[in-house]
Structure 1
């Protein structure tokens, strides 16, 4: 599975760099969970969307250990427990943000297809409303939006059950980073193998591009957190939109 390989690559990166990381804060929260790490006075914040439809509660059956080290957090990324898996992906994103040495170019994912004449059918795996609306305005494309969460199943949005039938017909596919959390990324990439562009999108996709090489993903469109303290404060107040206002900057970059 892709998430297992990404986990191993992240652990190998830690081993190669030999940084003395400390996990100084974390939370399974709304709308994003997060892990905050620090090394040599430099902090980095990784986030992952919290999928409430996957949450089953914990109660006293959960053995919470706030003294976990970073490797233990990362090792949870392929857990079958949604809390552990979410925090594991957030930890991988935190490491990625720490080592992120690219320029956050501010480029929106939609720009990858707007000027392409060979793109007609576009799928969104996850209802990414701002990007969907931007592309609909161009009136150039046939757009299919798939969603699993009941709260985002609005008019014109298809159940993710129809991905199996329709994804092979697509020229471009925008894939929510939450597919890392619900373990559907392998399936989506397999069904979308005919697409010219396969773009992993959203804050949950904050990982370094090198961690995604060889899986068929062509681009990552996510956010670089540029003000950790401000972003952390917004997250503690359950803010999603404010995460992108003054605390982070969008980027879109090629994977392979």
Structure 2
């Protein structure tokens, strides 16, 4: 795909496109086994003909305006339909459901088993949307000029910039690593529009579990995590812990080139 084609597609609201694509991809009836809007991650566990699959979405406490949500039915399609709601709770559950369906269909053949830092090469300025500290530290140690943007006051530090500066600074970046939470707070379209000059655009994190093919033409890579021990991860999430979520015992980090 030519670069001009990649740029031209960012005018479309990506979350609405994502909803259409995943609803079209579903080819069997899934059962919702368990779900919870919880800290630090909301999760949805589904069951299909091939077994169980779990999808995650980080819970953005700072963006919750009210603590009410409403679903006509507790089923996969109903949850997914809410992913473009203005209610953050509904959006989060919707995205976790999209991720659960995506992980059910995900084929790891062709993936690289590393975190997002393995993608960054031959660039100077790197923007990181969301203070993902392990990634930030690795890239700084490798000598890149790193700009970290963060909205959550609890995650800000002396080394982070407010997300209000993304609009002016992103056009100067060579690479942009975007937290999957940008799909929840609906900042993804602005970020991509302002990052037109960046040759590397990566959606990153556990919230970025959607099928890579859904983002073709918008991003260059997806970097996320495949849960391999659903039972253990589910127990940890119920206890409000994500400390082992990214350990090799419970999951596998991966990234795809989707150009």
Question: TM-score surpassing 0.5?
Answer: yes
Q: Which residue number in structure 2 is paired with residue 10 of structure 1?
A: 22
**Residue 64 of structure 1: how far off its partner (Å):** 5.7
CA distance in 2, matches of 1:237, 1:106: 28
Moved more, 99-108 or 246-255: 99-108
User: Could you tell me which residue of structure 2 aligns to residue 251 of structure 1?
Assistant: 254
Deviations 1:43-77 (A, max 9, x none): 00000000000112336xx4466x42110011011
- In structure 2, which of residues 186, 190, 198 is the aligned counterpart of residue 187 of structure 1? 190
1:110 aligned partner:
117
Count of residues paired in the alignment: 245
Instruction: Choose from 30, 42, 61 the match for 1:33.
Output: 42
Helix, strand or coil at the partner of 2:16: helix
**Deviation for aligned residue 1:167:** 0.3
TM-score by length of 1: 0.92
Q: How does 1:1-256 map to 2 (within 5 A)?
A: 1-14=13-26, 17=27, 19-40=28-49, 42-58=51-67, 62-63=69-70, 67-103=73-109, 105-113=112-120, 116-117=121-122, 119-139=123-143, 141-215=144-218, 217-245=219-247, 246-256=249-259
Using a 3 Å threshold, how does the CA distance of structure 1 residues 34 and 111 change in structure 2: closer, same or farther? same
Cα distance in structure 2, aligned partners of 1:63 and 1:255: 35
| Partners of 2:22 and 2:50 in 1: CA distance | 21
- Cα distance in 1 for partners of 2:166, 2:67 equals 31
Instruction: Report the 3-state secondary structure (helix = DSSP H, G, I; strand = E; otherwise coil) of the residue aligned with 2:244.
Output: helix
Once residues 241 and 105 of structure 1 are traced to their aligned partners in structure 2, the CA distance between those partners, rounded to angstroms, is 23
For residues 208 and 82 of structure 2, the distance between their equivalents in structure 1, rounded to whole angstroms, comes to: 17
**SS at 1:244 equivalent:** coil
Residues in 2 aligned to 1:228 and 1:242: alpha-carbon distance in whole angstroms:
12
Structure 1 stretches lacking a partner, 5+ long: none
CA contact (8 A) 2:117 2:139 kept: yes
Q: Distance in 2 between matches of 1:111 and 1:213?
A: 20
Query: Could you tell me how far apart the structure 2 residues matched to 1:183 and 1:127 are?
Result: 17
Secondary structure at the aligned position of 2:225 is classed as strand
Moved more, 237-246 or 201-210: 237-246
Partners of 1:166 and 1:50 in 2: CA distance: 26
User: What is the CA–CA distance in structure 1 between the aligned matches of 2:189 and 2:181, rounded to whole Å?
Assistant: 12
Quote how far apart the aligned CAs of 1:201 are: 0.3
Deviation at 1:24, TM superposition (A): 1.2
CA distance in 2, matches of 1:105, 1:194: 25
- Output the CA distance in 2 between the equivalents of 1:127 and 1:253: 22
The alpha carbon displacement at 1:41 in A equals 5.7
Tell me, which stretches of 5 or more residues in structure 2 are unaligned?
1-12
Which runs of structure 1 show a deviation greater than 6 angstroms over 4 or more consecutive aligned residues?
none
